[in-house]
Amino acid sequence: MAIYDLFSKRQKRARGEVPDVYVYDRLPQPLRRQIVHIVRETFSNFYGPHPDNEAYRSVNNTLLKEYGSFELIKNATCDQQAIFDFFLSEIFIERALDVVELCFKLIGDLPSRPPQYSSKNRADVTSMAEDAIMELNARFKEHGVGYQFESGQIIRVDSQFIHNEAVKPALHVLRDKEFKGANEEFLNAHEHYRHGRYKESLVEALKAFESTMKIIPDYA
């Protein structure tokens, strides 16, 4: 996968027609369609091109169960169509992001899947998953949408500098199994923050800090 710096993009940058602040309440249709392309290409490369393959079935069934529904859209002929049509038409951004998070969580887990799932070697699968996630995050940024996929979750980004210099390094450290509890609390804080539950976010962030401080003496 690659992001091409098209002539039209360069012209927009030259005219200053690029977003300089993040938005959180909309996912532009071009971005949604780009995400569909990434998911379809990655799922097809690993699980095969069938529109009812294991990945699409898993995402569809999870959404149906969690939403308490029997169908995402009317008259869908396959899991792939149900997921993509729902994603492209859903007006509530949080539900649209549910689709993104579930799909890319599966993509992020690809390197740990048993070898028989794909003819590709482990290095190729790892590279494919990392490339897909990198492209997703780049597309978010390209459209000025303030979300990123990190550590298996969609998290809100308010400042790219803070995200790069503080949030990502923290998530990298917290991946170690010794910090499992602190990692869950840190991600819970982001989830509360994304939904505007700032008091709960602060509580979880402080719990993550406390858990980390308790572990550091033994970890070092």
Closest CA to 25 of 97, 90, 93, 89: 93
Name the helix (H) or strand (E) containing 44: helix 29-47
183-198 pLDDT, tens digit each = 777 777 777 776 677 7
Residues 6+ apart with CB under 8 A from 175: 151, 183
DSSP 145: B
150 found inside a domain: no
Total of domains in the chain: 2
**pLDDT at position 218, please?**
64
Q: What are phi and psi of 49, to 5 degrees?
A: -80, -5
Same domain for 60 and 112: yes
* Residue 65 sits in the same domain as residue 111: yes
Instruction: Name the band, by pLDDT with cuts 50, 70 and 90, for residue 71.
Output: very high
Distance CA 151, CA 166 (A): 14
| Alpha-carbon span 148 to 194, nearest angstrom | 11
The tokens describing 114, both together, are 């048993």
In contact, 95 and 113? CB cutoff 8 Å: no
The answer to whether position 11 is within a domain reads no
The two three-digit tokens of residue 200, written as one number: 């709960």
pTM over 0.85: no
What burial class does residue 198 get, using C-beta atoms within 10 Å of its C-beta: 0-12 exposed, 13-18 middle, 19+ buried?
Answer: exposed
pLDDT at 24: 86
CA distances from 163 to 12, 146, 183, 185 (A): 25, 11, 16, 17
Question: Does some domain include residue 128?
Answer: yes
The pLDDT value given to residue 81:
96
Domain with 171, as residue range(s), is 158-220
Could you give the 3-state DSSP secondary structure of residue 164? helix
Instruction: Looking at the structure, tell me whether residues 162 and 141 fall in a common domain.
Output: no
Give mean pLDDT, residues 31-48. 94
Tell me the torsion sign for CA atoms 22, 24, 26, 32: positive
Residue 145 has phi, psi (to 5 degrees) of -100, 125
| Among 145, 168, 203, residue at a domain's last position | 145
Q: What is the DSSP letter of 4?
A: -
Predicted local distance difference test score (pLDDT) of residue 99: 97
User: Is 14 part of any domain?
Assistant: no
Same domain for 55 and 134, yes or no, is yes
